[in-house]
Copies of this chain bind each other. A is one copy, B any other.
Amino acid sequence: MTPAFEKLQQHLKQLPGVGYRSAERIALNLLVEKPGRLPALVAALQEAAQAVRRCSRCGNLAEGELCAICADERRATGTVCVVEHVPDLVALERSGAFRGGYHVLHGKLSPIQGVGPEDLNIGALQARIAAGEVRELILALSNDVEGEATCHFLTEHLAAPAAVKVTRIGFGLPSGGGVLYADSVTLKSALEGRRDYS
């Protein structure tokens, strides 16, 4: 294979779920079998990179100031589900078990990996609570050490008035697994089985 081909293969191999053979197959497909698709793919990548940003309120993917969920009046129920990453939000949306709002932290506290509270999207959550927007906060973080630490930090440091109920997603989530890999039924029972955390 040629140098430019191998370089492309290396880049494709870094994508999640794409190994050496898949990368070769995709590169051959784009360069030999269906070369007409390559410019369209490049355009879609560039367009998405330019258009997609973080929702200023919740941190979800957005193309304007607010994401589709924050812009939807019917979902301003006062119940806000706190997740680690956007894929977690996608998994919850797919389950159809939750119709409130979200808040994406974009990570969890991890002193070992040098992730502190200032690296997470916590300030915007504090602002939403201060604005009286939140009645219940559902902590849908994974139940590993970092997830526990993040839940603990949020309940300790968020200046939530007593009127804000803090719950934690719980039953049905397999130990050691995150929201991303759970099936819809498990996510539904986890939401229904949430318990007081504070």
Question: How many angstroms from the CA of A173 to the CA of B14 in the assembled complex?
Answer: 33
Taking a contact as CB atoms under 8 Å apart, the answer to whether B35 and A26 are in contact is: no
Question: How many angstroms from the CA of A124 to the CA of B24 in the assembled complex?
Answer: 26
**Does A42 sit within 8 A of B, measured CB to CB?**
yes
Q: Oligomeric state, in number of copies?
A: 2
Taking a contact as CB atoms under 8 Å apart, the answer to whether B51 and A2 are in contact is: yes
Question: How many angstroms from the CA of A17 to the CA of B63 in the assembled complex?
Answer: 29
Question: How many angstroms from the CA of A16 to the CA of B23 in the assembled complex?
Answer: 10
Q: Kindly state the interface size class of chain A when it binds its partner.
A: 35 or more
A15 in complex: contacting residue of B11, B16, B30, B48, CB < 8 Å: B30
Question: How many angstroms from the CA of A7 to the CA of B47 in the assembled complex?
Answer: 9
Of the stretches A82-90, A127-135, A163-171, A187-195, the one at the interface is A82-90
Taking a contact as CB atoms under 8 Å apart, the answer to whether B1 and A90 are in contact is: yes
Q: How far is the CB of A177 from chain B (nearest CB, A)?
A: 16
| A104-136 Cβ-contact flags toward B at 8 Å (1 or 0) | 001000000000000000000000000000000
A40 in complex: contacting residue of B11, B17, B61, CB < 8 Å: B11
Which residues 18-66 of A sit at the B interface, judged by CB distance below 8 A? 18, 22, 24-35, 37-42, 44-52, 61-63
Taking a contact as CB atoms under 8 Å apart, the answer to whether B90 and A51 are in contact is: no
Taking a contact as CB atoms under 8 Å apart, the answer to whether A29 and B8 are in contact is: no
- Which residues of chain A have a CB within 8 Å of any CB of chain B? 1-5, 7-8, 10-12, 14-18, 22, 24-35, 37-42, 44-52, 61-63, 67-68, 85-87, 90, 106
